[in-house]
Amino acid sequence: MASKYQLVSSKFYYEDSDVPRNKFNIKDTQTIHEIEKELLEEAYAIFFNELNEDTRFDEEYFISLHKRTFESLYDLVGLYRDFNIKVNLDFVRENF
């Protein structure tokens, strides 16, 4: 399976892998993508139901959204990074 991540030499990824380090030590690309997809689907339902006319789409909101969506899988969520993560947009368009 193709990865949505483009391999970049970084401590963010497992060595010789395109899989980001995670709390469960999952190193299989397909498995990590399936988990991320499930988390995104759950988050969509929750966030959609929470939206109201007072919702402010500001920096604080998006940081919270990112953290709440992925904090069960990754440590580096809801934080600013000092490195770039490259995402393969073709993969995302085809699979999400």
DSSP code string of 37-89: HHHHHHHHHHHHHH--TT---SHHHHHHHHHHHHTTT-SS-SS--SS---B-H
For residues 57-76, give the mean pLDDT: 94
pTM score: 0.76
Query: How many other CB atoms are there within 10 angstroms of residue 50's CB atom?
Result: 9
Mean pLDDT, the chain, whole residue set: 84
For residue 5, pLDDT over 70 is answered with no
* Per-residue tokens: 87: 């995402």
For residue 89, pLDDT over 80 is answered with no
Q: Which amino acid is at 79?
A: L
Domain ranges of the chain: 1-96
For residues 12-35, give the mean pLDDT: 92
* Superfamily (CATH) of domain 1-96: Fido-like domain (1.10.3290.10)
d(CA 9, CA 22): 16
Q: Which amino acid is at 78?
A: G
pLDDT tens for each residue of 40-61: 999 999 999 999 999 999 999 9
